[in-house]
Amino acid sequence: MDKFLLKCKNLAELTRFYSLSMTLASCFIIFSYAYYSEKFSLLNFILLLIAVCIIHLGGNLFDCYIDVKTKLKQGYNLENMKFSTAEKARLIRNETFSLKQVEIILAILFSIGTIIGIYFAFFAGWKVLLFALFSGILILFYPISSKFYFAETIIGLIFGPLMIMGGYYALTSDFNLNLFLLSWAIFFTTIILLHTHNIMDWEFDIKNNKNTLAILLGNKEKAVQAIKWLIILSYYIVVFGVLMGLFNPYMLFVFLTLPIATKLYESMIDYINIKDVEFKPRWYWGIFENWKEIQAQKTDYFMFRFYLARNFSFFFALFAALGAML
């Protein structure tokens, strides 16, 4: 039993299971709109949830796989490879999983996702495959997208408009323009998460010729200011939708995330100006799992800000979904 639990734990780390909050956030939005459709089926929603989670995990693993293969071609050995975080591809680098095993896992994950996608193509129509095809192309392009300053945009599109509109169509065989507008708010909150991460990876990305939005903006000060404007855009879309009668007024619940957004922006200003900040998570800033372990590893300066960005994205979508259903 202990060996089985260890394998599950290793597989979760290999595929970066913790990142599923982004997928779940989008699925909350899909559920809140699709639930009232005559074609809604709870079984279909569960299948959709399984599919998008599996594809997300497969995309994470594929990204690590490509990075490791690239380093091997450059002449690095597994033991002396370095990435922006010590956790990335750790279980591949220490040979807990061989590249052959990774390839098998990828084949299984993408095969399951494809089978469920084909089911929805029969259920909702062939247009479902267009969403899946475009998302698949973006996932394949993602490992090299940082050469073209396009990585954040790709992830924002996948977890925003593509997943939300594609998932809604899979469940209802229909489009919803109001939902399309809301999906762009999720696009921006997703970019906030990635952009926050990339600001803190600034030196590593420059050294490794990775072109991110943060680097495109020229300096860390401008990059941090971009977080403020991305937050404002996210809220603005919801306020605009409510004022125009497109959204339920209860969707203004998204402003309950304002303490998280404010702390994120403040903390990122501190990141470039103050180096000896003490990090004390508060319940109203969301979940900070494994915090004692993170402090022991002395990565709290990074994870505190990453968790804030993740929590903002997750709870923004959750409150929007709850407001839409009331």
Q: What share of the chain has pLDDT > 70, as a percent? A: 99
What pLDDT, on the 0 to 100 scale, is given for residue 1?
Answer: 56
Tokens representing residue 80 in the block: 């002396």
Alpha helices for the chain (secondary structure H): 2-14, 21-34, 42-73, 90-93, 99-124, 127-145, 151-157, 163-172, 177-200, 202-207, 213-216, 220-243, 258-273, 291-296, 300-325
DSSP result, 125-180: -THHHHHHHHHHHHHHHHHHHGGGT-HHHHHHHIIIIIHHHHHHHHHHS---HHHH
Is 60 in contact with 91 (CB distance < 8 Å)?
Answer: no
What pLDDT, on the 0 to 100 scale, is given for residue 276?
Answer: 66
Query: What is the value of pTM for the model shown?
Result: 0.91
* pLDDT digit string, tens, across residues 225-260: 999 999 999 999 999 999 999 999 999 999 999 999
Q: Sorting pLDDT into bands at 50, 70 and 90, what band is 208? A: confident
Is 102 in contact with 65 (CB distance < 8 Å)?
Answer: yes
Write down all domains in the chain, each with its CATH number in brackets: 11-175 (1.10.357.140), 176-326 (no CATH)
Q: Sorting pLDDT into bands at 50, 70 and 90, what band is 207? A: confident
The whole-chain average pLDDT of the chain stands at 91
CA distance 64 to 85: 12
Can you say how many angstroms the Cα of residue 134 is from the centroid of all Cα atoms in its chain?
17
What pLDDT, on the 0 to 100 scale, is given for residue 88?
Answer: 82
Q: Which of 241, 265, 263 is nearest to 251 (CA)?
A: 241
* pLDDT digit string, tens, across residues 40-61: 999 999 999 999 999 899 989 9
What pLDDT, on the 0 to 100 scale, is given for residue 118?
Answer: 92
What is the pLDDT averaged over residues 103-113? 94
CA distances from 225 to 134, 190, 197, 214 (A): 31, 16, 14, 10
